[in-house]
């Protein structure tokens, strides 16, 4: 197999952009065509950078511009060669602000067959930027399995046939060996068997434990026969307009994260405190939403789930992302039980919930192991929880028989769950049906089984919470154009004129809140920074961005930018056939808790009203789902108004 | 004199020291130009920074054919750019692998303790690098032995 | 009466000896330097050739500095005889210099292959400053330069010639390049790299004769002649020891020295290219005509002349050349046929490692990688450290055999740093170049 070669940008062009290039940017987008086997650097200019920033800002625009179905209406589907897989960083990636190894994946995903924005961290963004690229745009489909190798100006599609069948950790190990590199000198994002076999909720996993998990982006990679992206830590330099200013802003953010009451526990323990905290609100998903009482899980002793105890249960070792001072990501060595001695990635809260509570498992060692098994297979741990929990409940209730499944799978059985995971990621037996994801599998089974399944009508599944007591998140998840929460949780909401607190079970207040917080997350996800390290005042983030780029970027600019990005994603989603009718939770997802702190709180009773309010607040048309011309014009998206409304605009 | 004391058990592999070092030394963020380098141990579970020990012999300094490496005010071996011709002899004389060469400037470069305020120590979020008045030592040896046992066992 | 030290040769060994005498002595001595040339560093001549430094940059000691150091210098003079019974040396101008002890550090000279026409004007060597001046005057942008010989010396000026805008052809009689610095695999990678960078290499090509051809030079071969503007003969060097014939100083390949660098005549020391001292790896006597050996020899001799009793642990062969931004380095017994060896190639980078062991000690290494390449640079030094320290690699040996590119964990976990930190050449911390005591 001859390596595809990189066509360097014309010398003249790079020189001219280099002089005007805003700080923080590498200056090139890397376009990889798997069908033609070409890799080409495309310089991009300051205006485009200012308009799209990077991350989801850039990705949303690429999807909108490049994935329309040729010669007709609609959009290409996730498995079409013309689908794009955008792997984007942002202007802060590679800079000394905490957590700036960021990767945002934008694609038409296999879960909803609509747009996606899903993030991971590690060193992808860092290594890519130091090679001279701000983002990779993958298109086409390869005939044989390949991986993309990037080392400064050497960009090649290399034979990956020997990597097929390896899980993501094995893939990274094999590529270390092949390149003779180690540690963060080589950042590898890859797919495991689940991606290769087009599992609808396959993720892209990288750098041992970082996962871009949503909407089957791993299946897109699998369809393109792109096994991995391996990026050598490049040798190029990143300039900042005001480097001292970047360092100072980074210090300010760090100080805030270390000391602010709302961020401090995250700083110390990452997302681990979520388990106990959410259980007290009824937002820890337990046994497929059948209960909200931890006592209903065999062997559950909440005292050992306090964050410090949870961490100390393992031989834990810091494993941070680029330039990050959070005590968040860790590697753990399992100390007890069957898997003693195994190295795992310390689960995030969502790992504890998806591979633990959602499937009725409270054995911390087993859960930690299963969580890494998911990462290695490249399966979204959230959807795994909903899928496996559903199968467990269905077996308990007799909707899925032992014969159908091939074995008995009871609540809390992590080894059985792993067995199922291997079947699903290889599409073996009943695993082939389950590989289609919760929604499609539930619809296939139908009847009472379908009533137990947790999903959104668009085809996605929620993040790892029980949203029946987190209504903002359910509304956000269902109305999102990116297959997962698009607006996110409130972070210093008063900074952007929103109340500090609302009544969580008042549908109207909830809908106004979700609409009011809109924009921030899409902005954060465009910067190449982690959402946990941006859990500070937006003003500080803007200060870091301004110091990096030389722009005077304000909080208002940030929100406006975020809303604009969300509007563009909405336009793509509409073109993909997403309609208002899909913005509903499944029966179980939208059900009413039968016990626990949120017992009796019925979101479905308020759902229509919540949608009405949300639509009115964000300025979208309730009937068509389209952003109203006025809304678009206010965001400076006249061109999109014309696209969506024609002459009426 | 004060030296960089490395506390490998505290390192999380975030590479912030490399960024800070390159910024201090070159004015731009380019970890490839950092003279402190973080290495992985035990595959990917453990990391440790590694940099010049400011050793007593100063192999780089004694090897330099033009006297371009000297001892600066804080006791660090330091390259004098106007004297260095870029012959690379220091890079093979240093037995620790902590002399570097920049093809762009055609000069050797190394840790000069930032003239007494090392940027890496300041940037490290976990105090895995401290600047202390202690004798230089093999800070990483014992840690590396422990954190490579598994890799070695697997390599058998 | 103060001791009278005589230093014969103003190269690296001689100048390091002088500085070390001044650093170490407890009582001011008299130092006399005899040198055929003004003291300069041969290592930096390639940078003079490519005009990145001025000629003044090459000198290691000016008259002023020599005066500061209290050195009586006889520059431009050669020693013609050494009378070890009378402790006197005679210069080519008849001057007789008595001494209490002396260092012979007269270095080497370039030799040209015995080819008819090799002595024509326009056929150069590149070894001394004078020869460098001759070459620099001849090379213009667009000049075609033919280098006869593809050894280490030739390669040190390869980049310079190219950076002057000249076209370069390398002609080598042997079937491969860099025969005494790297193995066949490494040489093949370098040869490919050179071709990719526009340098023509003709191996196995014997020059029959060199002729004048209308202001140019023509090199005649069995087939295929070459016409060029400049010919540089880089066909070898020989030690400058003819003048010592008939003295009591025992000469084998070089002057045989003990671990204190004393020759068979106890108050006569030898250092650098002319000394046959202990090789660190083989522990056998060897001539190492390389800069680092000259430097260490000079310092050890200086200390011992100043009354210290410094035992020299032996010298390590280390070499590095840069070939169009490709670093090529080798350490120790890289060509030891009796050693256990392992290697790895990454042709695309390109990168190459060869590691050699005796028992569980690394005794030799070859490393190729791009200059400034972030993972090569660390390893270059670490491989030197492993070879130099001779640490027991234990189980890391098997690991390195399988992972020749993953040197760092082996280096650190073998506690090489612990072994190296107490090591100094003179048994004390080195002084900075500027710290030599002024002796006036």
Q: 3-state SS of C279-306? A: ECCCCCEEECCCHHHHHHHHHHHHHHHC
Average pLDDT of every residue of chain A = 95
- C346 contacts A233? CB cut-off 8 A: no
Tens-place pLDDT, residues B84-139: 999 999 999 999 999 999 988 999 999 999 999 999 999 999 999 999 999 999 99
Band (pLDDT 50/70/90 cuts) for residue A262 is confident
> What is the pTM (predicted TM-score) of this model?
0.93
Domains along chain A?
Answer: 6-232 (3.60.9.10), 283-451 (1.10.569.10), 467-535+554-648 (1.10.599.10)
Q: Least CB-CB distance to A235: which of C344, C374, C406?
A: C374
Distance of CA A242 to the CA centre of its chain: 31
Q: Enter the tokens of residue C198.
A: 């526009």
Residues 6+ apart with CB under 8 A from A638: A632, A649
- Beta-bridged to residue B77, according to DSSP, are B71
Instruction: Indicate the domain borders of chain B.
Output: 1-51+118-156, 54-110
In C234-360, at which residue ranges do the beta strands (DSSP E only) sit?
237-239, 255-256, 268-270, 275-278, 285-287, 318-323, 326-332, 340-346, 351-358
- B55 contacts C415? CB cut-off 8 A: no
Average pLDDT over residues A421-433: 98
Q: Which of B11, B50, B95 to mutate to test the interface with C (most CBs of C within 10 A)?
A: B95
* Contact with chain A for residue C350, Cβ under 8 A: no
Average pLDDT over residues A7-14: 36
Q: What percent of chain B has pLDDT over 70?
A: 99
Class of domain B54-110: alpha beta
Angstroms from B6 CA to nearest CA on chain C: 13
Residue burial C141-150, b: 16+ Cβ < 10 Å; e: rest: eebbbbbbbb
Fold match flag (C4-107+240-315 vs C123-237): yes
Tens-place pLDDT, residues C132-160: 999 999 999 999 999 999 999 999 999 99
3-state secondary structure string, A599-622? CCCCCHHHHHHHHHHHHHHHCECC
Q: Enter the tokens of residue A321.
A: 């992302």
Q: Lowest-pLDDT range, A94-98, C176-180, C372-376, C399-403?
A: C372-376
Q: How far apart are CA C308 and CA A438, in angstroms?
A: 83
Homologous superfamily (CATH) for C4-107+240-315 = FAD/NAD(P)-binding domain (3.50.50.60)
Tens-place pLDDT, residues B111-122: 999 999 999 999
Say what the pLDDT of residue C1 is. 66
Distance of CA A637 to the CA centre of its chain: 26
Helix (H, G, I), strand (E, B) or coil at C216: strand
Say if CB A209 and CB A319 are below 8 A apart: yes
**C367 phi, psi to nearest 5 deg:** -140, 130
* Contact with chain A for residue B97, Cβ under 8 A: no
Average pLDDT of every residue of chain C = 94
CA A629, A633, A635, A637 torsion-angle sign:
positive
Say what the pLDDT of residue A19 is. 61
Is the pLDDT assigned to residue A442 strictly greater than 90? yes
Residue burial A547-580, b: 16+ Cβ < 10 Å; e: rest: bbbbbebebebbbbbbbbbbbbbbbbbbbbebeb
Is the pLDDT assigned to residue A470 strictly greater than 90? yes
Which has the closest alpha carbon to A460: A105, A213, A176?
Answer: A213
- Residues of chain B contacting residue C399, judged by C-beta atoms under 8 Å apart: 151-152, 155
Say what the pLDDT of residue A7 is. 38
CATH 3.40.50.920 for the C325-420 domain, yes or no: no
Angstroms from C180 CA to nearest CA on chain B: 17
Q: Enter the tokens of residue A566.
A: 């969300």
Average pLDDT over residues C52-66: 93
Q: What percent of chain A has pLDDT over 70?
A: 97
Q: Least CB-CB distance to C402: which of B55, B71, B155?
A: B155
Phi-psi region of A290 (alpha: psi -120 to 50; beta: other; left: phi over 0): alpha
Q: Least CB-CB distance to C433: which of B67, B86, B89?
A: B67
Tens-place pLDDT, residues A169-184: 999 999 998 888 889 9
- A320 contacts B14? CB cut-off 8 A: yes
Neighboring chains of C (3 or more beta-carbon pairs < 8 A): A, B
Is the pLDDT assigned to residue A8 strictly greater than 60? no
Tens-place pLDDT, residues A167-226: 999 999 999 988 888 899 999 999 999 999 999 999 999 999 999 999 999 999 999 999
Fold match flag (B1-51+118-156 vs B54-110): yes
Strand order in the sheet with A38-43: A6-7, A38-43, A28-33, A135-139, A85-88, A103-107, A118-120
ipTM score: 0.96
End-to-end CA distance of chain A: 52
- Residues of chain C contacting residue B97, judged by C-beta atoms under 8 Å apart: 377-382, 384-385, 408, 411
Q: Lowest-pLDDT range, A67-76, B2-11, C356-365?
A: A67-76
- A154 contacts C406? CB cut-off 8 A: no
Say if CB C332 and CB C361 are below 8 A apart: no
Is the pLDDT assigned to residue C439 strictly greater than 60? no
Residues 6+ apart with CB under 8 A from A99: A121, A321, A322, A323, A324, A326, A529, A530, A532, A533, A534
Helix (H, G, I), strand (E, B) or coil at A92: coil
Angstroms from B110 CA to nearest CA on chain A: 17
Q: Which of residues 37-76 of B touch C (CB under 8 A)?
A: 37, 39, 41, 48, 50, 53, 55-58, 61-67, 69-71
Distances (CA, A) of C167 to A57, A230, C178, C215: 50, 38, 20, 17
Give me the helix-helix angle, A381-397 and A414-425, nearest 10°.
110
Q: Can you list the alpha helix ranges (DSSP code H) found in A426-537?
A: 431-434, 437-445, 447-451, 471-479, 507-516, 520-524
Neighboring chains of B (3 or more beta-carbon pairs < 8 A): A, C
- A177 contacts C344? CB cut-off 8 A: no
Q: How far apart are CA C63 and CA A578, in angstroms?
A: 86
Instruction: Indicate the domain borders of chain C.
Output: 4-107+240-315, 123-237, 325-420
Say if CB C381 and CB B133 are below 8 A apart: no
- Residues of chain C contacting residue B71, judged by C-beta atoms under 8 Å apart: 431-432, 435
* Contact with chain B for residue A130, Cβ under 8 A: yes
Tens-place pLDDT, residues A583-618: 999 999 999 999 999 999 999 999 999 999 999 999
Q: How is domain B1-51+118-156 classified at the architecture level of CATH?
A: 2-Layer Sandwich (3.30)
Distances (CA, A) of A106 to A60, A89, A374: 7, 11, 21
In chain B, at which residue ranges do the beta strands (DSSP E only) sit?
3-6, 37-41, 46-50, 69-71, 77-79, 100-102, 107-109, 129-132
Average pLDDT over residues A262-279: 95
Q: How is domain C123-237 classified at the architecture level of CATH?
A: 3-Layer(bba) Sandwich (3.50)
Band (pLDDT 50/70/90 cuts) for residue A73 is confident
Q: Enter the tokens of residue A528.
A: 């190449």
* Contact with chain A for residue B20, Cβ under 8 A: yes
* Contact with chain B for residue C402, Cβ under 8 A: yes
* Contact with chain A for residue B116, Cβ under 8 A: no
- Bond from prior residue into C350 cis (ω within 30 degrees of 0): yes
Q: Which of C372, C383, C423 to mutate to test the interface with B (most CBs of B within 10 A)?
A: C372
Angstroms from C407 CA to nearest CA on chain B: 11
């Amino acid at each position: 197999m001859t390596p595809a070669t990189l066509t360097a940008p014309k010398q003249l062009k790079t020189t001219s952009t280099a002089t005007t290039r805003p700080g923080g940017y590498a200056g090139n987008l890397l376009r990889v065509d798997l069908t033609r086997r070409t890799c080409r650097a495309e310089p991009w200019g300051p205006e485009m950078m200012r308009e799209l920033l990077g991350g989801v800002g850039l990705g949303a625009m690429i999807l909108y511009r490049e994935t329309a179905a040729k010669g007709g209406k609609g959009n290409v589907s996730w498995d079409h060669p013309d689908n794009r897989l955008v792997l984007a960083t942002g202007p802060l990636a590679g800079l000394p602000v905490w957590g700036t190894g960021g990767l945002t994946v934008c694609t038409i995903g296999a879960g909803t067959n609509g747009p996606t924005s899903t993030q991971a961290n590690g060193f992808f963004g860092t290594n890519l930027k130091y090679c001279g690229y701000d983002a990779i745009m993958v298109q086409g489909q390869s005939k044989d399995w390949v991986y993309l190798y990037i080392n400064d100006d050497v960009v090649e599609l290399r034979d990956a046939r020997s990597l097929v069948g390896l899980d993501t950790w094995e893939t990274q190990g094999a590529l270390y060996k092949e390149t003779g590199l180690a540690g963060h000198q080589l950042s590898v994002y890859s797919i495991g068997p689940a991606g290769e076999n087009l599992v609808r909720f396959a993720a892209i996993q990288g750098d041992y434990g970082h996962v871009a998990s949503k909407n089957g982006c791993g299946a897109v990679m699998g369809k393109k026969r792109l096994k991995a992206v391996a990026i050598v830590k490049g040798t190029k330099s990143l300039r900042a307009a005001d480097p001292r200013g970047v360092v100072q802003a980074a210090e300010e953010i760090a100080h805030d994260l270390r000391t602010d009451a709302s961020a401090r526990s995250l700083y110390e323990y990452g997302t681990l405190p979520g388990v106990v905290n959410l259980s007290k609100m009824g937002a820890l998903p337990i046994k497929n939403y059948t209960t909200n009482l931890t006592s209903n899980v065999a062997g559950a002793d909440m005292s050992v789930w306090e964050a410090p105890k949870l961490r100390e249960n393992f031989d834990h070792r810091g494993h941070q992302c680029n330039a990050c001072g959070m005590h968040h990501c860790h590697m753990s060595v399992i100390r007890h039980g069957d898997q003693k001695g195994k190295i795992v990635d310390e689960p995030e809260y969502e790992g504890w919930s998806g591979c633990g509570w959602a499937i009725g498992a409270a054995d911390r060692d087993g859960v930690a192991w299963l969580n890494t098994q998911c990462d290695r297979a490249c399966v979204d741990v959230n959807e795994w929880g909903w899928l496996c929990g559903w199968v467990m409940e269905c077996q308990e209730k007799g909707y899925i028989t032992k014969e159908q499944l091939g074995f008995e799978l009871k609540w809390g059985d992590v080894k059985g769950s792993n067995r199922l995971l291997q079947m699903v990621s290889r599409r073996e037996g009943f695993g082939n049906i389950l590989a289609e994801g919760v929604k499609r599998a539930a619809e296939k089974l139908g009847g009472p089984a379908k009533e137990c399944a947790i999903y959104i009508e668009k085809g996605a599944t929620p993040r790892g919470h029980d949203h029946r007591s987190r209504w903002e998140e359910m509304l956000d998840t269902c109305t999102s154009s990116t297959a997962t929460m698009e607006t996110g949780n409130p972070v210093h909401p008063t900074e952007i004129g929103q109340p500090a607190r609302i009544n969580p079970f008042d549908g109207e207040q909830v809908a106004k809140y979700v609409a009011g917080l809109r924009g921030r997350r899409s902005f954060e996800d465009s910067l190449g920074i982690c959402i946990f390290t941006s859990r500070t005042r937006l003003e500080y983030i803007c200060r870091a961005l301004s110091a990096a780029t030389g722009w005077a970027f304000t909080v208002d600019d940030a929100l406006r930018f975020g809303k604009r990005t969300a509007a563009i994603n909405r336009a793509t989603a509409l073109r993909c056939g997403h309609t208002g009718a899909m913005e509903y939770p499944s029966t179980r997802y939208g059900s009413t808790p039968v016990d626990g702190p949120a017992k009796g709180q019925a979101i479905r009773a308020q759902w229509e009203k919540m949608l009405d309010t949300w639509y009115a607040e964000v300025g979208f048309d309730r009937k068509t789902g389209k952003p109203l011309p006025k809304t678009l014009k206010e965001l400076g998206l006249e061109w999109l108004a014309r696209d969506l409304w024609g002459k009426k605009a | 004199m004060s030296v960089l004391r490395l506390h490998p058990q505290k390192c999380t592999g975030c590479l912030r020291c490399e960024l800070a070092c390159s910024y201090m030394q070159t004015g731009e963020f380019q970890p490839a130009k950092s003279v402190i380098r973080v290495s992985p141990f035990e595959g990917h579970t453990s990391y440790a920074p590694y940099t010049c020990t400011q050793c007593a012999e100063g192999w780089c300094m004694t090897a330099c054919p033009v006297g371009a490496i000297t001892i600066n005010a804080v006791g660090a071996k330091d390259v004098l750019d106007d004297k260095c011709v870029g012959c690379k002899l220091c890079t093979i004389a240093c037995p620790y692998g902590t002399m570097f060469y920049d093809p762009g400037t055609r000069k050797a470069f190394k840790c000069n303790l930032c003239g007494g305020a090392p940027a890496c120590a300041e940037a490290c979020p976990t105090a895995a690098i401290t600047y202390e008045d202690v004798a230089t030592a093999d800070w990483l040896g014992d840690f590396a032995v422990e954190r490579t046992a598994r890799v070695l066992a697997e390599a058998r | 009466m103060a001791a009278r030290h005589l230093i014969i040769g103003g190269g690296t060994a001689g100048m390091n000896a002088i500085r070390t005498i001044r650093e170490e002595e407890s009582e001011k001595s008299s130092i006399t330097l005899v040198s055929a040339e003004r003291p300069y560093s041969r290592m930096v001549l390639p940078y003079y050739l490519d005009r990145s430094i001025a000629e003044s940059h090459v000198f290691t000691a000016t008259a002023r500095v020599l005066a500061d150091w209290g050195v009586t210098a006889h520059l431009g003079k050669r020693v013609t005889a050494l009378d070890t019974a009378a402790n006197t040396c005679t210069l080519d101008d008849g001057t007789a210099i008595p001494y209490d002890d002396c260092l012979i550090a007269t270095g080497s000279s370039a030799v040209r292959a015995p080819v008819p026409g090799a002595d024509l004007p326009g056929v150069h060597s590149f070894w001394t400053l004078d020869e460098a001046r001759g070459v620099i005057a001849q090379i213009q942008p667009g000049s075609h330069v033919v280098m006869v010989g593809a050894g280490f010396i030739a390669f040190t000026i390869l980049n310079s010639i190219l950076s002057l805008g000249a076209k370069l052809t390398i002609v080598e009689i042997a079937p491969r390049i860099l025969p005494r610095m790297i193995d066949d695999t490494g040489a093949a990678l370098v040869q490919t790299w050179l071709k990719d960078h526009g340098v023509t290499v003709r191996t196995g090509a014997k020059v029959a004769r060199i002729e004048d051809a209308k202001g140019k030079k023509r090199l005649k071969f069995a087939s295929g002649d070459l016409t060029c503007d400049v010919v540089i003969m880089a066909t070898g060097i020989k030690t400058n020891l003819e003048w010592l014939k008939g003295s009591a100083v025992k000469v084998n390949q070089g002057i045989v020295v003990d671990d204190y660098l004393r020759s068979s005549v106890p108050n006569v020391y030898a250092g650098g290219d002319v000394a046959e001292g202990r090789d660190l790896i083989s522990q056998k006597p060897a001539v190492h005509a390389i800069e680092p050996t000259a430097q260490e020899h000079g310092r050890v001799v200086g200390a011992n002349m100043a009354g210290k009793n410094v035992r020299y642990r032996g010298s390590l062969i280390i070499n590095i050349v840069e070939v169009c931004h490709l670093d090529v380095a080798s350490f120790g017994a890289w060509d030891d046929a009796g050693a256990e060896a392992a290697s790895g190639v990454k042709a695309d980078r390109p990168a190459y490692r060869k590691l050699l062991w005796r028992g569980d000690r690394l005794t030799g290494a070859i490393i190729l990688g791009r200059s400034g390449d972030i993972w090569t640079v660390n390893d270059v030094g670490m491989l030197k450290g492993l070879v130099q320290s001779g640490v027991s690699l234990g189980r890391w040996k098997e690991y390195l055999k399988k992972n020749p590119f993953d040197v760092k964990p082996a280096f650190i976990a073998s506690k090489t740093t612990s072994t190296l930190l107490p090591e100094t050449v003179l048994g004390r911390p080195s002084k900075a170049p500027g710290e030599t005591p002024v002796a006036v």
